[in-house]
Amino acid sequence: AVVTGNNTYRDAGYATLQSAANDASAVAALLKSRYGYDTTLVLNGSRLEILTALNTMREKLKAEDNLLIYYAGHGEIDGAGKGYWVPSDGASNAPASWISNAAVSDILDTMPARHVLVVADSCYSGTMTRASSPVFDAGSMGADKWAGWVKSMVNGRSRTALTSGGVMPVPDTGSGRHSYFARAFLNALQDNKRLETVVAMRD
């Protein structure tokens, strides 16, 4: 896993965030302790530091590996509707200093990893994907159909994005020390039982 949380920014045009670093630290700790992830945590990362972490993972992973990328911090959108992550050294009104969703997608496409999940808690993160309909409805699936769906997904290759909002700003703070999105994501990781079933089936 590559987990990034940016609270502070060099450019005064970007307000200091309250929860991004806390969110990232909590996600990284939970992924490591409960799910056994080899986790790289980047706090208040520059453009170079974030891209280096992703590229290092690209060189490290093999075809049988899975990857989770988590980003919490400022997000931007340009006049063409393209979304970006803003690194700690990103400059206001300077897209060249940001990290585009397209650049992240290009890195993921060249990774040999079987399954990659990108979790983005930032403004305009919905530009990472235009698909919002679930592939399945777990509530209406019987055990046999669920098992079949899991096996087909595990045996395939996937690139999936889970985002905190659409093409709009999202709140930084929520309940306690975490954003609303991060709190829900952490709760899902803590309470989840089905992922354990998926891992058992894969093995």
Per-residue confidence in pLDDT tens, the chain, 203 aa: 999 999 999 999 999 998 999 999 999 999 999 999 999 999 999 999 999 999 999 999 999 999 999 999 999 988 888 889 999 999 999 999 999 988 998 898 899 998 999 999 987 554 555 444 445 555 666 777 767 766 666 666 787 888 876 544 444 555 567 888 899 899 989 888 765 444 433 33
Q: What is the pTM of this model?
A: 0.80
Terminal alpha carbon distance of the chain: 20
**How do 115-121 and 158-163 pair as beta strands?**
parallel
